[in-house]
Structure 1
């Protein structure tokens, strides 16, 4: 009895050590990516403000450094996502079958691609529309002065959440493949999920109706796409199980 308890404790400690190792590798990859992209932060900054009339204003000596670090951080996240996906796969791999290992490994590139698509959607579609709308409201009424911190904080709020939320289909497919989720559960949770997504949309967008709608609609579509993809994976698994039996 004591040997069994000791074995369980050893396995538990081993899992924690393995998890710690994977987290450290991911964090180190992120830091390396931040340092690497920081070299090009000035050029990226110039490209991001190319459409602004004149230069942005800084209110303190550290504002421009903050902007460079934020830019580096966003690109570092994009580079780190595949690394994080591989580390998660390495951690859960011992509990997977050979078929599950091959199938789950295929989702890692999708994570990076969907993150990039989400960032591009936020920056090239949503951000200019919202910014133009807000400029129109302020036209001929107030003197506008854009600071580096406010401008990039606004951009960050409209791009990064989409990069993360666009991961939804790949994550749902992965969890369906592992048997944690299925389309029936997702369909039953539709009302609650819609409510959560709407709350998230309102929280990450400026307080105007147009911005809220521009964010809510793509997120609800993403959820429905996730249900469809989960259904495809689930039905394929059922078909394989029937053949094996």
Structure 2
């Protein structure tokens, strides 16, 4: 018997139980593809790393007084900040491919009905994640920066460190990206029967309070940031609840 590892075509993608080693072989191949596309995008975008940081810092530079500028408090910051941002951009651009590879790995274990529901949910989650990042960059970030700079004392010239600004922005993007997944998460919980729309409606007031409570901990310590996250969280929950009600109506019919 040959000791050659099985090829993808030799591995039965069925619902039958497979040895754990075959699962690991399949998972490894998907992970290799993910790493390959991530590295490819990273090196393709690397020559434009400084331009990417200029684009990221545009909302801050638009708010700074004429006499102020961004600063680097570390010798390596001028290299590392664009480098980190470049990796984040590569990760975000490769996200659809990453999700597809994860989907391809779990697809054989799903029934046909589950597969038909999973595809639109996956596409919806990708779209909502990008929408959340766009909302953070074009709406939340300029508003939050304007607030912080406008309340700074006249005797203090705001000069933000480039690494600190990068960390602030990436955290904001991830928080809003995950927040915009709430309708998809709500819909999944309803579809798999963990909760019903009636239960969610009954607990609506607690969920709204929870939105503000979570926003208070994951946003900068100011009321504006908290409100700009909590209100979208609440509205997105209502969107997921509405879609869940429509699906439940179809089931009854």
Distance 1:124 1:96, change over 3 A: same
Q: Does 1:43 align with 2:51?
A: yes
- What SS class does the counterpart of residue 19 from structure 2 fall into? helix
More divergent stretch after superposition (122-131 vs 141-150): 141-150
More divergent stretch after superposition (53-62 vs 203-212): 53-62
Q: Aligned-residue CA RMSD in angstroms?
A: 2.9
More divergent stretch after superposition (27-36 vs 122-131): 27-36
| 8 A Cα contact 2:186 2:237, kept in partner | no
**Matches of residues 165-244 of structure 1 in structure 2 within 5 Å?**
165-174=179-188, 176-177=190-191, 182-184=196-198, 186-187=200-201, 190=204, 193-194=207-208, 196-239=210-253
Deviations along 1:68-119, whole A, 9 cap, x unmatched?
A: 1332233223222212321232223223333432332233332332122111
> How much has 1:225 moved relative to structure 2?
1.3
Residue 11 (structure 1) aligns with: 19
Deviations along 1:36-94, whole A, 9 cap, x unmatched?
A: 33332211222233324454111122212232133223322322221232123222322
> How much has 1:132 moved relative to structure 2?
0.8
**Matches of residues 128-139 of structure 1 in structure 2 within 5 Å?**
128-139=142-153
Residue 91 (structure 1) aligns with: 105
Of 125, 129, 132 in structure 2, the residue corresponding to residue 118 of structure 1 is 132
| 8 A Cα contact 2:182 2:233, kept in partner | no
Runs of 4+ in 1 over 6 A off after TM superposition: none
Distance 1:228 1:210, change over 3 A: same
Using the alignment, how far apart are the partners of 1:9 and 1:104 within structure 2? 21
Residues paired across the two proteins, number: 232
Distance 1:55 1:136, change over 3 A: closer
Using the alignment, how far apart are the partners of 1:39 and 1:72 within structure 2? 9
Q: Which has more helix, going by share of residues?
A: 1
TM-score, normalised via structure 2 length = 0.76
Q: Does 1:154 align with 2:168?
A: yes
- What SS class does the counterpart of residue 40 from structure 1 fall into? helix
Distance 1:112 1:38, change over 3 A: farther
| 8 A Cα contact 2:212 2:227, kept in partner | no
Gaps of 5+ in 1: 1-7, 240-245
Distance 1:36 1:171, change over 3 A: farther
Of 20, 34, 48 in structure 1, the residue corresponding to residue 42 of structure 2 is 34
TM-score, normalised via structure 1 length = 0.78
Distance 1:93 1:237, change over 3 A: farther
